[in-house]
Structure 1
Amino acid sequence: MCFSKHVQKILVAHDGSDHAKKAVERASALAKALGASVYVITVSTDPSQVSLEKAKKIAQEAANALKSKGVNVDDIAVRSGTPATEILNYAEEKEVDLIVMGSRGLSAIQCLVLGSASQAVVSRARVPVLVVR
Structure 2
Amino acid sequence: MIERILLADSGTGHSEEMLKALLAIPSVQRANVTILHVVSQERSAEAMEAKRQEGEALMANVVERLKLDPTKVTTMLRTGDPKGVVCQVAEEVNTDLIIMGSRGLKRLTSILSNSVSQYVFQLSPRPMLLVRDDLYVRPIQRIMVAVDKSDTARKCLDLAIFLLRDIPGGRLHLVHADANAKEDLSGAAAEKDPILAAALAQAKRYDIDTRCWVATGSAGQAICRTAEDVRADLLLLGSPDRRPSIAKSLPDLDRLLGSSLSDYVRVHANCPVLMARTAG
TM-score using structure 1 length: 0.77
**Contact between 1:43 and 1:83, CA under 8 Å: does it hold in 2?**
yes
Shift in Å, 1:61: 1.4
Counterparts of 1:1-133 in structure 2, within 5 Å, are: 6-17=1-12, 19=13, 22-33=14-25, 34-35=28-29, 36-47=31-42, 48-67=48-67, 73-104=72-103, 116-133=115-132
Q: Which amino acid aligns with 1:88?
A: C
| Cα distance in 2, alignment partners of residues 63 and 46 from structure 1 | 25
| Cα distance in 1, alignment partners of residues 11 and 17 from structure 2 | 13
Distance 1:10 1:99, change over 3 A: same
| Cα distance in 2, alignment partners of residues 77 and 99 from structure 1 | 14
**Contact between 1:10 and 1:31, CA under 8 Å: does it hold in 2?**
no
**Contact between 1:9 and 1:38, CA under 8 Å: does it hold in 2?**
yes
In the alignment, structure 2 segments of 5+ residues that lack a partner are 43-47, 104-113, 133-280
Q: Which amino acid aligns with 2:10?
A: D
Secondary structure of 1:84 counterpart: helix
Q: Which amino acid aligns with 1:75?
A: T
Q: Which amino acid aligns with 1:117?
A: V
Q: What is the root-mean-square deviation of aligned Cα atoms in Å?
A: 2.0
**Contact between 1:41 and 1:76, CA under 8 Å: does it hold in 2?**
yes
Secondary structure of 1:50 counterpart: helix
| Cα distance in 1, alignment partners of residues 65 and 72 from structure 2 | 10
Shift in Å, 1:29: 1.7
Secondary structure of 1:67 counterpart: coil
Shift in Å, 1:71: 8.5
Distance 1:41 1:56, change over 3 A: same
Shift in Å, 1:54: 0.9
Structure showing greater Rg = 2
Secondary structure of 1:89 counterpart: helix
| Cα distance in 2, alignment partners of residues 72 and 30 from structure 1 | 18
What is the count of residue pairs matched by the alignment?
114
Q: Which amino acid aligns with 2:96?
A: D
Deviations 1:26-47 (A, max 9, x none): 1122133122221100001135
More helix per residue: 1 or 2? 1
In the alignment, structure 1 segments of 5+ residues that lack a partner are 1-5, 105-114
Deviations 1:41-100 (A, max 9, x none): 0001135111111111112112222226x6964200011100011111111111110000
Structure 1 vs Structure 2: percent identity of aligned residues? 29
4+ runs deviating over 3 angstroms: 70-73
Shift in Å, 1:123: 0.7
TM-score using structure 2 length: 0.38
**Contact between 1:32 and 1:71, CA under 8 Å: does it hold in 2?**
no
